Structure 1
Amino acid sequence: MELHERIDHTNLKANATQADLAKLCDEAMEYKFATVSINGCWTKFAVERLGDSGVGVTTCIGFPLGAATTAGKAAEARQAVLDGTTEIDMVINVGKLIDGDDEYVINDIAEVVKAAENHPVKVILECCLLDHDQIVRACQDCVKAGAAFVKTSTGFSTGGATIEDVRLMRETVGDACKIKAAGGIHNQKEALAMVEAGADRLGTSASIAIVS
């Protein structure tokens, strides 16, 4: 798989405008990225802009904190599907995970997976807030809940993707689901290192610099 095919071309800024999203979509079509990764209010716009280009849409829900109610996250997922999204990125409930409430965490993810209606769900762990054992447990919870991917980071917290986290995630999930590395991937060298460590997909706003 070529590097461009692994990239979710991302703009999740609170102040992103329609012009910014149009530019994101046009760049994704030009460079043939896997998807654009966006906030929910832009899903319908992106779907229409991308048309039949082959570039997908990743709608981010429960973003960036993951602390919304399960019902709220599921509702966001259902709306994203109605608006035409092809994939969903959701944020795990970090506090519940740290509390050891795996039952809540698994149900939280499973309800979004159900609402996503067979669209791939990538679950953001926010690894920078977790220790080794919590990352392992989070990965295990994601697999049990039916997630398609486990993902390192939102890019909005205290740190982004690290090689060590990606390796640990790969060791934990094996072939049970895929891995997305996101947050702080700025150039081709860093991107290739993430792929070598086990990442199937990359989330970045530096996509063009990476493939150029």
Structure 2
Amino acid sequence: MNNLNRFLESTLLRATMTASEVELLIREAIEEQFVGVCVPPFWLKKVRRELGEESIQLVTVIGFPFGYSDTATKVFETKKAIRQGADELDLVWSQTAYHSDMNWPKIELAQIAKICHEEERILKVIIETANLNEQQLTEACLICEDAGADFVKTSTGYASAGAKVEDIKLMRETLSSSVGIKASGGIKTLDFALELIKAGADRIGTSSAKAIMDAWRKG
């Protein structure tokens, strides 16, 4: 693989993150030409300004980290993030509605997918795989695809577990080839990142993107 950097989305979503950490994230992303950087909405305008014309996707999160917000709030967050320069929106779906056997997650996702696509933005839906059994994971993927999601993403990083190879394999078997998979949560090493890519992940969201690239260059 000669383009590992184009799988890596460098992520910084800690409660205590500082401006200097954000600046380092941007510098490393430009140096390594990562496919994207993922930051909280608070930092969107700064990162958009600093990235300039770089071919790096600016990613942010909506309804993070539990997806509890109502649809109107998520719609507002989405529209504001787009105005502030986000290229891709990582939306935490309504876990509470899904686990209550409501049809609401699909309705909500379809509404937000429409907004994103009208603005030529990418919607990635975080389904929090740690909270799903195999049957639920398959169902969740199909709901996301039917609603118009561009990617299905494993984790926020705030659940009991993050990305797993077996989950990625099941997701790839379930989703059509037109829907991407973003593996995230607990991805710290090169070997694990490569396992996930081999299993079917199109993106790797990680706070260890630079360390992974350094390990890859060392062979």
Q: Do they fold alike, i.e. is TM over 0.5? A: yes
3-state SS in 2 of match to 1:122 = strand
User: Which residue of structure 2 lines up, in the alignment, with residue 61 of structure 1?
Assistant: 62
User: 1:188, CA displacement in angstroms?
Assistant: 0.8
Range with greater deviation from structure 2 (31-40 or 104-113):
104-113
Contact 1:113 1:147 in 2 (8 A): yes
TM-score when normalising by structure 2? 0.93
Describe how 1:112-151 pairs up with structure 2 within 5 A.
Answer: 112-116=112-116, 117-151=119-153
Measured after TM superposition, the shift of residue 189 of structure 1 is: 0.5
Deviation at 1:121, TM superposition (A): 0.5
Match of 1:158 among 144, 160, 170: 160
Residue pair 1:98, 1:134 contacting (<8 A) in 2 also: no
- 1:16 paired with 2:17, answer yes
Of stretches 65-74 and 113-122 in structure 1, the one that deviates more from structure 2 is 113-122
> What is the deviation of 1:114?
2.2
The number of equivalent residue pairs is: 211
- What is the match of residue 108 of structure 2? 108
- Paired with 2:120 and 2:50, the residues of 1 have a C-alpha distance of 23
Name which of 196, 199, 207 aligns with 2:198: 196
* Native 8 Å contact 1:66 1:94 kept in 2: yes
**Equivalent position amino acid for 2:10 in 1:** H
Q: What is the CA-CA distance between 1:174 and the residue it aligns to? A: 2.6
Q: Which residue of 2 aligns with 1:170?
A: 172
C-alpha deviation, 1:183, in angstroms: 0.5
Give distance in 2, aligned partners of 1:174 and 1:61: 24
| Deviation at residue 94 of structure 1 after TM alignment | 1.0
Counterpart secondary structure, 1:184: coil
- Between the aligned partners of 1:75 and 1:83, the Cα distance in structure 2 is 12
After TM superposition, give the deviation of residue 49 of structure 1 in Å: 0.7
How large is the Cα RMSD of the aligned pairs? 1.0
For residues 174 and 82 of structure 1, the distance between their equivalents in structure 2, rounded to whole angstroms, comes to 30
In the superposition, the TM-score normalised over structure 1's length comes to 0.96
Where has structure 1 moved over 6 Å in runs of 4 or more? none
Matches within 5 A, 1:25-64: 25-64=26-65
Say whether the 8 Å CA contact 1:126–1:157 is kept in structure 2: yes
Give distance in 2, aligned partners of 1:96 and 1:131: 16
1:24 deviates by: 0.7
SS of alignment partner, residue 99 of structure 1:
coil
CA contact 1:9–1:36 (8 Å) conserved in 2: yes
CA contact (8 A) 1:90 1:121 kept: yes
Offset of 1:118 from its aligned partner? 2.5
1:208 to 210, 214, 217: 210
Cα distance in 1, alignment partners of residues 178 and 143 from structure 2: 12
Q: Distance in 2 between matches of 1:167 and 1:34?
A: 22
Q: Do the aligned residues in 2 keep the contact of 1:8 with 1:36 (CA within 8 Å)? A: yes
